[in-house]
Chains A and B, each alone.
Chain A
Amino acid sequence: MPDANPSTAGHRENDRSGATAVAIRNLSKSFDDVEVLRDVNLEVKKGDVVTILGSSGSGKSTLLRCINWLEQPERGSIHIAGERIGMTDEGRAMSVKALARVRAKTGMVFQGFNLWPHLNVLHNVTEAPIHVLGKSKHEAETHARALLEKVGMSHKMDAYPNTLSGGQKQRVAIARALAMQPEVMLFDEPTSALDPELVGEVLAVIKDLSAEGYTMVIVTHEMAFSRAVSDQVVFLEKGLIIEKADPETFFTNPSTERVRKFLERND
């Protein structure tokens, strides 16, 4: 279990074990009349890796997208490092500026990479730190170079996204999200749009991050990967969390028949 060792997790000096990075309480969400999330509760501790599994349509991507308010739940609350996102404490919608400020505490990696094609690799990574965090160009670039080194993309600093492979794009997207020094990294099926031979390089980067103590919530279909990196595995079915366990228990001795069937099919 990767503990948040301060010597390896230099990005988070004030890390206290046991502190909560993400707290999701009684979350419910519908699209039209379909309930996609039903009373979901989930707590992610600082330094923990939580993977969310489930068949397609189970609501796992929606749950992830609620965490940074790309989707708005109807009921319930989400706190990022103790601060509520989307709504004020009085229950009113947050101002656009306040919402952006809380969102900046999360970093997101999308299935489709979503890089900005008019900016080269380096500037994709420095854009938000400069214009959201107010970092100087020099400071942002120094940090970006280190992050691109970490994800193995420092040789493509000046390249534009359309010249990169899918795996390379996703590694740049990971560096871009890390550049915000987020409290939590959110991964929305980060390898689902990749050719099979490119999946490994992206998973390897995410594994490295987990070893360094980053807090991560990952929606994925990669079972072996989930088992290797998770501190907690969550299984979602029709918007309900039906199983929540450590990876060992989840993959060898799940408590529900549904999960057992799911694992058999995905073996």
Chain B
Amino acid sequence: MNASAWQMLLEGAWTTVWISGISIALGVVAGLIIALIRIAKIPVVDQILVLYTSLARATPLVTLTLFIFLSAPTFGINLDRNVAGILALTLNTTAFNAEIWRSAFRNFSRDQREAAMAAGMTPWITFRRIMLPQMVITSLPGLINEMSFLIKGSPAIAVIGIVDLTRVTNRISAVTYEPLPPILVACVLYMAVIGCLVWLQRIAERQANRLAV
């Protein structure tokens, strides 16, 4: 592999990281919002979200990506392929994150909530000051798990022409006729990114232990 192959690989890695990163950030926040709306049990809205969750969880990422990219023009929207990729990844991961947040909320200690209410906290203050900080810590292992699934599923966005870390190995071997070296490097780069997440997860779990009263 020559210098330009290395550069292509790093560019591919960067594409994977930034597109996944934005999707993860959006997905974690959107998941929380959806979880809270579902806990409020608003009629109709709740049913729509249940439908969304089951659809998003049942659809393969490649199919979802293609569907979003190809259907956008029908609605008169000219979707940039990166935006379509981010949208597909976000829609997918949000559904899983919403379930993680929802279970953290449902399992939250009733005793602690009563202590907050007894101290005159409104439900909003109770959520923001007492529940959310602990929900973040207890959900983090699950959320990080979902993040690494998203990164490992991200090559799906290559289907609409985004040159991510996996796709770029194809391009390199098309020129060099040596498929093995670039794919090996790609594996190592994926492992490095996932390794960072695993490391974060370990810290999160240590934090969570402190909450076990």
Query: Do A and B assemble together?
Result: yes
CB-based nearest B residue for A176: B119
Cα distance, A114 to B125, chains bound together (Å): 17
B166-213 interface with A by 8 A CB criterion: 210-213
Q: Which of B49-57, B78-86, B96-104, B107-115 lies at the binding interface?
A: B107-115
Residue of A nearest to B125 (CB): A131
Q: Which residues of B contact A (CB under 8 A)?
A: 109, 111-112, 114-123, 125, 129-130, 133-134, 137, 210-213
Q: Which residues of A contact B130 (CB under 8 A)?
A: 116, 118, 127
State the CA gap A127–B128 with chains docked (Å): 12
Chain A residues within an 8 Å CB radius of B114:
70, 110, 114
Stretch in A93-101, A202-210, A255-263 with 4+ CB within 8 Å of B = A93-101
B115 touches A100 (CB 8 A): no
From A70, A110, A117, A132, contact of B120 by CB (8 A):
A132
List 11 A-B residue pairs with CB atoms under 8 Å apart, sorted by A's residue number.
A100-B117, A101-B120, A106-B118, A114-B109, A114-B112, A114-B115, A117-B134, A127-B119, A132-B121, A133-B120, A162-B213
Tell me the complex Cα distance, A110–B130, Å. Answer: 17
Q: Closest B-chain residue to A128, C-beta based?
A: B119
A160 CA to B211 CA in the complex, in Å? 9
Q: Which of A97, A108, A118 contacts B134 (CB 8 A)?
A: A118
Chain A window 98-116, contacts with chain B (Cβ cutoff 8 Å), 1 for yes, 0 for no: 0011011111101010111
Q: Which residues of A contact B118 (CB under 8 A)?
A: 68, 70, 103, 106-108, 110, 177, 186
A22 contacts B by Cβ under 8 Å: no
CA distance A162 to B134 in the complex (A): 14
Query: Known contacts A110-B111, A115-B115, A118-B137: does B120 contact A180 (CB below 8 Å)?
Result: yes
Please name the residue on chain A nearest to B124 by beta carbon: A96
A96 contact from B115, B119, B123, B212, Cβ within 8 A: B123
A128 with B121, Cβ < 8 A, contacts A161-B213, A162-B212 known: yes
B contact face: mostly helix, strand, loop, or mixed: helix
Residues of B within 8 A of A101 (CB): 120
Closest residue on chain B to residue A124 by CB atoms: B115
Q: What residues of chain A lie closer than 8 Å to B125, measured between beta carbons?
A: 131-132
The chain B residue sitting closest to A160, CB to CB, is B210
Q: Which of A70, A116, A117 contacts B117 (CB 8 A)?
A: A70
Q: Which of A110-165 contact B (CB under 8 A)?
A: 110, 112, 114-118, 127-128, 131-133, 160-162
Chain B residues with CB below 8 A from A180, complex form = 119-120
When chains A and B are docked, how far (Å) is the Cα of A101 from the Cα of B120?
6
Give every chain B residue within 8 A of A116 (Cβ-Cβ). Answer: 112, 115-116, 130
Q: Which 7 pairs across A and B sit closest by C-beta, in order of nearness? A: A104-B120, A128-B119, A114-B115, A108-B118, A114-B111, A132-B120, A100-B122
Q: What is the bound-complex CA distance between A105 and B118, given in angstroms? A: 9
Q: A107-B119, A112-B111, A117-B134 are in contact. List 9 more A-B contacts (CB 8 A).
A: A100-B117, A100-B121, A115-B213, A116-B116, A116-B130, A117-B211, A128-B121, A131-B129, A132-B119
In the bound complex, how far is the Cα of B109 from the Cα of A250, in angstroms? Answer: 38
A160: which B residues are within 8 A, CB to CB?
A: 210
Contact A100 B133 (CB under 8 A): no
* Contact assessment for A96 and B122 in the assembled complex, using a CB-CB cutoff below 8 Å: yes
Please measure, in the bound complex, the distance between the C-alpha atom of A105 and the C-alpha atom of B211, giving whole angstroms: 29
- Name the residue on A nearest B130 (C-beta): A116
Cα separation A97 to B124 with both chains bound (whole Å): 10
Residues in A206-240 with C-beta less than 8 Å from chain B: none
Name the distance in Å between A111's Cβ and chain B's nearest Cβ.
9
By CB atoms of chain B within 10 A, which of A101, A103, A105 has the most? A103
Q: Shortest CB–CB separation between residue A18 and chain B, in angstroms?
A: 26
Residues of B with C-beta under 8 A to A106: 118
Alpha-carbon distance between A180 and B118 when the two chains are bound, in angstroms: 10
Closest Cβ neighbor of B113 among chain A residues? A114
CB contacts (< 8 Å) of B134 on chain A: these are: 117-118
In the assembled complex, the Cα of A74 lies from the Cα of B137 at a distance in Å of: 39
**Nearest Cβ in chain B — how far from A213, in angstroms?**
22
Q: Chain B residues near A127: list those with CB within 8 A.
A: 119, 129-130
